[in-house]
Chain A
Amino acid sequence: MQYMILIYGREADYANVSEAEMGQVYAEYMEYSKALVAAKAFVGGASLKEIATATTVRVKNGKTTTTDGPFAETKEQLGGYYIVEAATLDEAVKWAAKCPGAKHGSCEVRPLGVITGADGGIAAMQ
């Protein structure tokens, strides 16, 4: 079963981090990603660019409005995700606990529902 690990953290905490420290964070993430791959649990993953680059889109009565920034103000912001293959929620939660992001922020584990296939149809319904 596929699960999404949503990595939330306070962007402001990274504002004054040195290049060396950031390098350390990237190295930890790469080690984590490789561990997922070795366990045949890795499906996908990416970081998201900072909230300042976000745009929220709403449509009302056929009219589209865009606002700069995220859908809501939250103490922690979504910074990235992994999609993992795990037999149970417990297994997915264990992976989330190993994610570097869990140490400073929060990792929300969510089972996927209807997964879209490359042909636009339903690949899987979990």
Chain B
Amino acid sequence: MKYMLLIYGDEQTLAMRPEAERSSMMEEYHVFTKDLISAKSFVGASSLKATTTGTTVRVRNGKTTMTDGPFAETKEQLGGYYIVDCATLNEAIACASKIPCVRTAHSSCEVRPLGIITGSDGGIAVTQ
């Protein structure tokens, strides 16, 4: 079953880490990802640029409004995700606990099972 591992952290705090620490964390992510691939669990992953680069869109009564930034102010912001294929929720949780940022307590991870997965033709590929 496919799960999304949503990685949340305090953007400002994370941005203040020294370059050496960030580089070493990128290396750890590389190793973490390769482990997922070996376990045939890796489906996809990406970091997201800071919430300051985002725009939130709402359409009400046909009128579109855009606001700079995220959908809501939260203490921790979404910084990236992994999508993993695991046999059980517990396995997905175990993966989450090994995410480098999560392991060092800089971030938390919300584990969510995917529901309806859209296929490359725009139709339903899988309903979980």
A: residues with CB less than 8 A from B are 2, 4, 6, 8, 26, 30, 33-38, 42, 44-49, 53-61, 64, 66, 70-72, 74-76, 78, 80, 82, 89, 93, 96-97, 99, 102-103, 105-116, 118-121, 126
Query: Once the chains are docked, how many angstroms separate the CA of A109 from the CA of B76?
Result: 17
Tell me if A71 and B89 are in contact (CB < 8 A).
no
B: residues with CB less than 8 A from A are 2, 4, 6, 8, 26, 29-30, 33-34, 36-37, 42, 44-49, 51, 53-60, 64, 66, 70-72, 74-76, 78, 80, 89, 93, 96-97, 102-105, 108-118, 120-124, 128
Tell me if A44 and B44 are in contact (CB < 8 A).
yes
Task: Say yes or no: A34-B105 contact (C-beta < 8 A), given A116-B33, A126-B49.
Answer: no
Partner of A59, one of B6, B33, B47, B105: B105
Partner of B97, one of A38, A64, A106, A120: A64
The residues of B that contact A72 with a CB separation of less than 8 Å are 8, 74-76
The residues of A that contact B112 with a CB separation of less than 8 Å are 48-49, 53-54, 78
User: Which of B47, B78, B89, B122 has the most chain A CB atoms inside 10 A of its CB?
Assistant: B122
Tell me if B72 and A75 are in contact (CB < 8 A).
yes
Tell me if B111 and A120 are in contact (CB < 8 A).
no
Closest to A99 in B: B57
Which 4 residue pairs across A and B have the least CB separation, nearest first?
Answer: A34-B122, A33-B122, A113-B47, A47-B115
Partner of A97, one of B59, B121, B123: B59
The residues of A that contact B111 with a CB separation of less than 8 Å are 54-57
Query: Once the chains are docked, how many angstroms separate the CA of A68 from the CA of B56?
Result: 27
Query: Once the chains are docked, how many angstroms separate the CA of A47 from the CA of B127?
Result: 9
Task: Say yes or no: A8-B76 contact (C-beta < 8 A), given A49-B113, A56-B111.
Answer: no
